[in-house]
Chain A
Amino acid sequence: GEDVEQSLFLSVREGDSSVINCTYTDSSSTYLYWYKQEPGAGLQLLTYIFSNMDMKQDQRLTVLLNKKDKHLSLRIADTQTGDSAIYFCAENASGGSYIPTFGRGTSLIVHP
């Protein structure tokens, strides 16, 4: 079945770049997403990329998609302490129910 895998933790210094990686198995994925969840809060849609794209940039966020390796990454430039949160990768297969599959989340800790 479909699976989405992420590393569980990432620690960076304020001002550095963060790169969060994700691998997925469903080759029919249409949408690939990144969500941010702060403690006690909901899932905020950060950005998403269509499967026919290789890259998407939105201010400090850059998403790279390698379809051949089924690898998705989120780069956060100039990481701030306010970026500390759990980041979920998700993919949404095309057609049918569009049921998304989520990774377990990467906890990003930003040190001052």
Chain B
Amino acid sequence: NAGVTQTPKFRILKIGQSMTLQCAQDMNHNYMYWYRQDPGMGLKLIYYSVGAGITDKGEVPNGYNVSRSTTEDFPLRLELAAPSQTSVYFCASSPPLHFGNGTRLTVT
């Protein structure tokens, strides 16, 4: 019963570095999402996907990219990391909507 698995749990990046946040689900869900949650705030949708090969922008897509080559995986790519991307990132899949445990990212 893995559900939604995110790696890594924590990461510190220097400004300008790049990284990929991994997300995998084993529930055969078609819909997958990436959110960010800033301290004391709610969730903001970065990107979402309605199925393999299909992705679309959410509310705050700038500075991020995604791909969905399989139903199970939905990685989030950060290019040229900036301090404004310091946040906790959650991946989710649905329906019903299940979240991963999050990746805490700090950009310094």
Contact = CB atoms under 8 A, between A and B. Distances in A.
Contacts, number: 54
Interface residues of A, number: 22
A104 B45 contact: no
Contacts of A99: 33, 45, 48, 58
Contacts of B22: none
Interface stretch (A17-25, A37-45, A61-69, A77-85): A37-45
Contact of B94 (A41, A98, A102, A103): A98
Main secondary structure of the interface of A (DSSP, over half): strand
Interface string B81-108: 0000000001010111111111000000
B96 A31 contact: yes
A28 to B, nearest CB: 14
Contacts of B53: none
Given A97-B50, A97-B56, A90 B101 contact: no
Contacts of B98: 45
